[in-house]
Amino acid sequence: MSGPLLEIRNLTVSFRTEDGLVRAVDDVSLTLNEGETLGIVGESGSGKSVTMMSVMRLITDPNAQFGGQVLYKGSDLMALSQDQIRSIRGAGIGMIFQDPMTSLNPVYKVGWQIEEQIREHENVSKQAARARVIDLLTAVGIPNARERVDAYPHQFSGGMRQRVMIAMAVSCNPDVLIADEPTTALDVTIQAQILSLIKKLREDFGTAVVLITHDMGVVADMADRIAVMYAGRIVEQGSRRDLFYGPQHPYTWGLLGSIARLDRPRPRRLSAIPGVPPSLIRLPAGCAFADRCGHRFERCSERPELLDRVGNGHLDACHLTIEQKQEVRDRTIHPELVEEKP
Amino acid sequence: MLTFVVRRTLWTVVVMFVITVVVFVIFFKTPGVDPARAIAGRNPSPQVLAEIRAQLGLNRPLYVQYGVMMKKIFITRDLVSYSNQGTRVVQEIFAAVPATLSLVFGAALIWIVMAILMGVAAAQLRGRIWDPALMVLALVGVSAPVFWLGQVVNLITQGKLHSSVFSWLPPLGYTSFTTNPVIWFEGLIFPWITLSILYIGFYARVLRANLLEVQTEDYVRTARAKGLSERRVLMRHTLRTSMITFVSLFGLDFGALVGGGAILTEVVFGIHGVGFLTYESLTNLDLPVIIAVVIYGAFFIVLANALVDIAYAWLDPRVRPT
């Protein structure tokens, strides 16, 4: 098949509220190739979850308005009928959610909940579906799966429930797995296990993964390409290497600077990005990050386009020239390193 | 599970004992309530009163009176009414049960079906005019008192229109199913509707609120992400968990109604069931009947409570004893 597996073109999602129109996602374009892992990074409310929920058409709020296209294997998901999108949900695109404690129905056995999905998409017998569920649960590392298949969600720990969710999401061999902050609600030790499980499944089945997170450490570990979102827009997008070694947008610098690192001199204080994200109802006409940015100048009052300014396919939305960026970047990310120089 | 059942049964016995004692003390020791005086008629002489008291055993200590009455209800089953001498109370209650059961089962069937339809419809049509319209209708149903609604229904169906539109309708009262199934059915249609209207309104509102709450749960979103149809999401995921409250409420209301709680409906429509018996015994201060009816009602309410607990465990695996 030619072209990307999943392509989001100029997606816009807004919600009508009493205070006005909230632009949760503003003109977002993304592509996902077969077998690739795309990381979407941003803080709460930056629109990363809403973007991927819109791809699955899982936003049921009657006040939501959508614009743009989502092409999956060439067909526009936004234009499909309810029945057509249903045949893609769960079968072509699987999804894992943030909170495993509430994502499973408490009144059904976990095995039944996975079987339900398999039998919705494939014409298999109950016994065959059950056998497959047991294999899946074993594959995601649930000990004693033959017995645990008949347990209820409340009899599982958070990490085990997330494993069940992963087994469910991959049960119909989807091409795309959307993982919406899959480790946010878990202990750090469990986080690592879940991430390595997703990695393993990705390698075993060749599934493309969209990993939504606010944790730069997670994407550094997992993603081939990374998109950074801020206030509903993509502000920077590039390969993992370029993004970590040559970040172009001051917001990305802020995110990188706020990571506590063990391999660097300990800063007096972990740096944080000053201020709070802007209200999505009255976004400034120019760069949405300008109010929190230490490098703003006159041009920031006009909206920066997401362009390849470096010349290697790395996209960013900042008016600063490459030279200016190089000059101020290290100082912004690691002020403590610069200060210590004589 | 066995210890659960045993503990539950013992608890039931304790509750019923306490209820009978409380009711007994209330009616036999309340100042101004003197069954002998009620039986003796106007201005009785002290000798007559003393005679009646001795005859009824009212001059004996209270605990003896209580014991004798319990013995007459549960063991010898020959407790007799004070006001209708010779009527055996236990047998009278058992004779009244079929009428009550006919009324309550039919009404329950109507109210469950209608409440689910209305509750689901309102929740699904949220944001349109139908949701508030249905809920106002439900509120009207909740607000209309049964004694008033029943009288209005009677006024319409048994009044002028009885000679035309409602000519098929039998006169007020209850005909047993074994006597004539057709008349049994015809005579109960309007009592069923009247009794169920209150509950339809209440249950539809409760169900709607539960549905709307469950619809925002993460696992409903998961169900959609699995590719299930909206219909299946509603039936198997949203409605299933919303029914937990519904079923608990239903068990308690149903138990209370079978236990004689449909007093007003039975009186308005002249159905001689347990509720009617309760009404009569209260107006005549017929203590043996009151006590027996209370025990009977308490039994069903306690039974319903136990059944609700079991149903609850069946519906929600999180509360199952392990």
Question: Is there a contact between A58 and B225 if contact means CB atoms under 8 Å apart?
Answer: yes
Question: Is any Cβ of chain A less than 8 angstroms from the Cβ of B224?
Answer: yes
List of residues 6+ apart from B48 with CB closer than 8 A: B40
Q: Give the mean model confidence (pLDDT) for residues B10-16.
A: 84
Burial class (CB in 10 A: 0-12, 13-18, 19+), B157: middle
**So what's the pLDDT on residue B238?**
92
The residue of A80, A84, A107 whose CB has the most chain B CBs within 10 angstroms, and thus the best one to mutate to test that interface, is: A107
Please state, for a pLDDT cut of 90, what percent of chain B lies above it. 25
**So what's the pLDDT on residue A2?**
61
Question: Is there a contact between A117 and B228 if contact means CB atoms under 8 Å apart?
Answer: yes
**So what's the pLDDT on residue A341?**
46
Question: Is any Cβ of chain B less than 8 angstroms from the Cβ of A55?
Answer: no
What pLDDT band is residue A257 in, cutting at 50, 70 and 90? confident
Question: Is any Cβ of chain B less than 8 angstroms from the Cβ of A100?
Answer: no
Measured on CA atoms in the order B13, B19, B24, B29, is the torsion positive or negative? positive
Cα(A209)–Cα(A40) distance, rounded to whole angstroms? 11
Cα(A306)–Cα(B28) distance, rounded to whole angstroms? 89
What pLDDT band is residue B1 in, cutting at 50, 70 and 90? low
Q: What is the pLDDT of residues B181-196, one digit of tens each?
A: 888 988 899 999 999 9
Tell me the shortest Cα–Cα distance from A105 to chain B, in angstroms: 5
Tally the C-alpha atoms within 13 A of residue B287's C-alpha that lie toward its C-beta. Answer: 22
Task: Indicate if the pLDDT at residue B145 is higher than 60.
Answer: yes
Cα(B135)–Cα(B137) distance, rounded to whole angstroms? 5
Type of residue at B17: F
Report pTM: 0.81
Task: Indicate if the pLDDT at residue B171 is higher than 50.
Answer: yes
Cα(A251)–Cα(A332) distance, rounded to whole angstroms? 10
Q: Which residue of A has its CA nearest to B244?
A: A107
> Which backbone phi and psi does A249 adopt, to 5 degrees?
-110, 135
Task: Indicate if the pLDDT at residue A342 is higher than 70.
Answer: no
What pLDDT band is residue A339 in, cutting at 50, 70 and 90? low
- Residues A109, B227 contacting (CB under 8 angstroms): no
Cα(A68)–Cα(A63) distance, rounded to whole angstroms? 17
Least confident of A247-256, A257-266, B82-91: A257-266
Q: State the complex-level ipTM.
A: 0.86
Nearest neighbour of B225 by CB, restricted to A95, A106, A116: A95
**So what's the pLDDT on residue A267?**
65
Average pLDDT, chain B: 86
Q: If residue A29 lies in a helix (H) or strand (E), which one and from where to where?
A: strand A20-32
Task: Indicate if the pLDDT at residue A337 is higher than 90.
Answer: no
Cα(A166)–Cα(A244) distance, rounded to whole angstroms? 28
Tell me the shortest Cα–Cα distance from B10 to chain A, in angstroms: 30
Tokens of A90: 């769960």
